[in-house]
Amino acid sequence: MRFSIYRFNPDVDKKPYMQDYDIELEDSDQMLLDALMRLKVVDDTLSMRKSCREGVCGSDAMNINGKNGLACITKLEDLQEPVVLRPMPGLPVIRDLVVDMTQFFDNYHSVMPYLQNHEPPPETERLQSPEDRAKLDGLYECILCGACTTSCPSFWWNPDKFVGPAGLIQAYRFIADSRDQEQEARLENLEDPYRLYRCHNIMNCTDVCPKKLNPNAAIAAIKNLKIEKAKEHTQHKPSKKIFGIKVL
């Protein structure tokens, strides 16, 4: 099977290049990560991330034939040759297929991805109704692989301003949590021309998510909540007259 892999070692290379590999695989029913581990034996200079091999940790996310995905759950038999592997776009390359995730996690941390409840903690857990708990399905399962965010052109153009799909789906996960008491602050935190509203519904994020989540729907839900809050504020705002015309 033939592979064309992005190579770049900043200590040695002046610029990136693509390197071709041909390897024989004993079993065609393998995952891409299996082939990469085989390649690593042949060429130990090849750098990549891997850990769980189960599609849970998200560490082996990369661009596979032009589409972001996880190497450990991508079947070789589904890939067209040559298999072209590149690092996830939009983030600085550390070496080969390894990218610097600092900006990604900075954006994630900026949405305060943790429960905020100011009541004294109970002896057991904070309870939810089954209905409220069900609202979190499709949100909490994010594994922070970065595949969605680095597929988004809005993130490529404004990585330090637009939170990105992964951060925003986590923002909504806590906005929607009935146990959280800081919904207003969370919505205010996203009141910026870039942080939320740079999402233009391109849907790349939903297309590539290895957990089949829909960040676009979560982002739309946040926008709708902000519209509802703005309407409430307008309705309660005292009116006045300018040149005999009633305005808010």
- Let me know the angle formed at the C-alpha of 107 by 85 and 185, rounded to the nearest 5 degrees: 150
d(CA 108, CA 112): 8
Calculate mean pLDDT across residues 239-248. 56
Residue that terminates a domain, selected from 99, 116, 131 = 99
Residue 244 pLDDT greater than 70, yes or no: no
Would you tell me the crossing angle of helices 165-175 and 215-236 to the nearest 10 degrees?
50
Residue 42 pLDDT greater than 80, yes or no: yes
Let me know: does 24 contact 10? Beta carbons within 8 Å: no
Q: Specify if 241 maps to a domain.
A: no
pLDDT of residue 231: 86
DSSP line for 224-245: HHHHHHHHHHHHHSPPEEETTE
Higher pLDDT, 23 or 8: 8
Calculate mean pLDDT across residues 71-91. 96
Q: Specify if 206 maps to a domain.
A: yes
Q: Specify if 8 maps to a domain.
A: yes
Can you give the residue range of the structural domain that contains 50? 2-99
pLDDT of residue 71: 98
pLDDT of residue 187: 96
Residue that terminates a domain, selected from 99, 126, 152 = 99
Mean pLDDT value across the chain? 93
Residues 165 and 110 both lie in one domain: yes
Domain count, the chain: 2
Q: Specify if 246 maps to a domain.
A: no
Calculate mean pLDDT across residues 143-149. 98
pLDDT band at 131 (very low <50, low <70, confident <90, very high): very high
Calculate mean pLDDT across residues 57-74. 98
d(CA 144, CA 147): 8
**Residues 120-129 pLDDT 10s:** 999 999 999 9
Residue 100 pLDDT greater than 90, yes or no: yes
Q: pTM of this prediction?
A: 0.90
Residues 140 and 230 both lie in one domain: yes
Let me know: does 84 contact 66? Beta carbons within 8 Å: yes
Q: Kind of pairing, strands 245-247 and 17-22? A: unpaired
Question: Percent of the chain having pLDDT more than 90?
Answer: 88
